[in-house]
Amino acid sequence: MYAFTTDVTRKWSRATVALGLVLATLALVACNDDPGRTPSTSSISGQDLDGAPRVTETLEIDVELGDLYIEPATIQLEAGQSLLANVSNVGVLPHDFRLDEAGTRMLNGGESETVEFGPFEQSVQIICTVPGHAAAGMIMNVEVVGAPVAANGDGHHGGASGEPFAQVRPNATPGPEWEPFDPVLPPAVGTGGTLHQIQLDATEVVLEVAPGVTQEMWTFNDQVPGPVLRGKVGDVFEITLTNRGRLGHSIDFHASKVAWDQEMRTLAPGESLVYRFEAKHAGVYMYHCGTAPALHHIGNGMWGAIIIDPPVLAEVDREFIFIQSEFYLGPEGEPGDLGKMQRDEWDIVVFNAYHNQYAHAPIRIEAHERIRAHVLNVGPSENSSFHIVGTIFDTVYKEGAYLLRPDEMRGGSQALDLQPAQGGFVEFEMDAEGLYLMVTHKFSNVGKGAMGIFQAGDVEVGDVAH
């Protein structure tokens, strides 16, 4: 008897078993045993002549699509039943509600559509197919009583396509077409009142992140990192963001003080906005797409650096920018995997978005030159402990303040520690010609691609990357 208090009798299906008054009595007992369960009559559209409820061929329900949820999250059907879903998008982002070839079109916020699915013989998942949304929770489980669950969506089982995740081959080298991201940082052009007018396009493009490994990256201007912006305190930035992609995107400049709901709103494909702010505070800042799930948009490459110089900045011989991020590989040529991002399971940790980039393309400097390396950790989730093997930083600037400057105390710094969305710069010199490794001193990540080489002087590089 108590078998009927288990899944078979949960939710509305309790009422659909429809074996007559005996079972109805059992259902009531079950309900009394578990006052948290509320029986639903949504499955009962009629009664047999003898007054007993009967199972209908089609279950009609209302489905609410919100920003990263589907309500109800689970329904139960009898084998052979169909589903008529009145689907409304109550969110801001576009969503759809699909099972293979069946389902709604892409619905904008406020739009509705009624669609039919089934009849069902096995348990399935109906999902929102916008990349990342199913993994973020936009799944409705259709449980066919007593039937197995069929995998669907881009949850924890692999990529949206069902293809296996891309794998980095540690000994691979970039092809002849490969060009490293130039780490040289040009000086600021601003003077403290300069207007910077910049066009940024949000796009989705396939890029190489390690030799032979490509991912669909979500970008600003088809590149990861996005363009490095630089100015001085008092400069005004007027950025026109145009969404030339197929997904919703947005932008959030950490160097700005603006209302989140205005400038940082999500743009539908084809839309533009102008994001204008005065740079009031110096720092090495991140900018990024903040569209939900922001973890997926940042984890997929939608970030860059905006450097606001303090009013006074010492002269150096060379300046560089290194942005640490980690990637969570999806299948080859597909977006990164949101499930891995949610579980902190990164595959590679990289400077300027390529595995062992500056080991493959060492950075040429000279001994005794004064170097300033700007470092930004964009995460989305991992920390950074920026260190150069063989030198000591005599100047450390982190999050808008000098932690160390040369003085009679002769202090030295071995690493700049940065949590996600923190930045700064270090200054140093190499005392002798030779090779100097750049790493994050969280060493489990060095083997995952967070390594580069400074080549001080005309010295042999060899095969350091391997």
Does residue 302 bind Cu ion (CB under 5 A)? yes
What's the rounded Cα separation, in Å, for the pair 395 and 404?
Answer: 5
Largest CA distance in the chain: 98
Cβ proximity to Cu ion, 9 vs 291, nearer residue: 291
Cβ proximity to Cu ion, 218 vs 425, nearer residue: 218
What's the rounded Cα separation, in Å, for the pair 150 and 126?
Answer: 11
Name the minimum Å distance from CB 288 to Cu ion: 8
Q: Which of 104, 291, 357, 413 binds Cu ion (CB under 5 A)?
A: 291
Does residue 133 bind Cu ion (CB under 5 A)? no
Does residue 289 bind Cu ion (CB under 5 A)? yes
Does residue 355 bind Cu ion (CB under 5 A)? no
Does residue 251 bind Cu ion (CB under 5 A)? no
List Cβ neighbours of 50 (8 Å cut-off, separation of 6 or more): none
Does residue 378 bind Cu ion (CB under 5 A)? no
Does residue 296 bind Cu ion (CB under 5 A)? no
What's the chain's length in residues?
466
What's the rounded Cα separation, in Å, for the pair 34 and 439?
Answer: 57
Options 281-289, 337-345, 351-359, 370-378: segment touching Cu ion (CB under 5 A) = 281-289
Other Cβ atoms closer than 10 A to 197: 11
Q: Nearest Cα to 213, choosing from 158, 156, 160, 175?
A: 175
Full 3-state SS string of 322-371: EEEEEECCCECCCCCCHHHHHCCCCCEEEECCECCHHHHCCEEECCCCCE
Q: Which of 14, 95, 232, 249 binds Cu ion (CB under 5 A)?
A: 249
Options 154-162, 280-288, 302-310, 457-465: segment touching Cu ion (CB under 5 A) = 302-310
Name the minimum Å distance from CB 448 to Cu ion: 24
Q: What is the enclosing helix (H) or strand (E) of 15?
A: helix 13-16
Does residue 341 bind Cu ion (CB under 5 A)? no
DSSP 177: T
Options 69-77, 296-304, 354-362, 417-425: segment touching Cu ion (CB under 5 A) = 296-304
Name the minimum Å distance from CB 287 to Cu ion: 12
Does residue 136 bind Cu ion (CB under 5 A)? no
Options 215-223, 262-270, 403-411, 413-421: segment touching Cu ion (CB under 5 A) = 215-223
Residue closest to Cu ion when measured from CB atoms? 289
Does residue 93 bind Cu ion (CB under 5 A)? no
Rg over alpha carbons for the chain, rounded to the nearest Å, is: 28
Dihedral angle over CA of 320, 321, 325, 329, nearest 10: -70
Residue ranges binding Cu ion (CB under 5 A): 218, 249, 289, 291, 297, 302
